[in-house]
Amino acid sequence: PVQMTFYEAVGGEQTFTRLVRRFYEGVADDPVLRPMYPEEDLGPAEERLRLFLIQYWGGPRTYNEQRGHPRLRMRHVPFRIGATERDLWLQHMRAAVDSLGLHEALERQLWEYMVMAAHSMVNVAEEA
């Protein structure tokens, strides 16, 4: 296609599947983040993040069909997200992004979004 979406440029569905799988492997072993997830099985949370990211980057809009408008900040209000949680989230996401082996410009675009989004999800002030 002449106008490729970012979703297509990075390799489509399989790339996002790999990304979130690697990310949740990190979360599964994280003593701070793991207890925040209400469900015993991380699979459904992995699927929600996968579908959200696919939709955000121009792929199929299955997330909205299943979950409605993302309203991500609102959906995170039940969870206490300070700088500590944000930085751990980003640490696992960094490892996941690195594992994809994307071209530099695509990788930078993906990473800058993750940093921005993670900062926007912080909902408690924390002492430094």
Neighbours of 89 (CB within 10 A): 22
> Which tokens sit at 57?
């980057």
Applying CB under 6 A, which part among 4-12, 14-22, 83-91, 97-105 lies near ligand HEM?
A: 83-91
Placement of tokens 């675009």 in the chain: 109
Asked if residue 121 binds ligand HEM (CB under 6 A), the reply is yes
Classify residue 32 by its DSSP letter.
Answer: T
Q: What is 17-46 written as a DSSP string?
A: HHHHHHHHHHHHT-TTTGGGSSSS-SHHHH
The yes or no reply on residue 83 touching ligand HEM (CB under 6 A) is no
How many residues bind ligand HEM, per CB under 6 A?
A: 21
Q: Which is closer to ligand HEM, CB of 7 or CB of 89?
A: 89
Closer Cβ to ligand HEM, 10 or 81, answer by number: 81
Q: Which of 75, 95, 112, 126 binds ligand HEM (CB under 6 A)?
A: 75
Cα of 126 vs its chain's centroid, Å:
22
Binds ligand HEM by CB under 6 A, chosen from 20, 81, 96, 97 = 81
For residue 8, the Cα-to-chain-centroid distance in whole angstroms is: 18
Stretch binding ligand HEM (CB under 6 A), from 14-22, 73-81, 94-102, 103-111: 73-81
Residues in the chain: 128
How far apart are the C-alpha atoms of 60 and 74, rounded to whole Å?
A: 23
Enumerate binding residues for ligand HEM (CB under 6 A). 33, 36-39, 45, 48-49, 52, 67, 72, 75-76, 79, 81, 85-86, 89, 117-118, 121
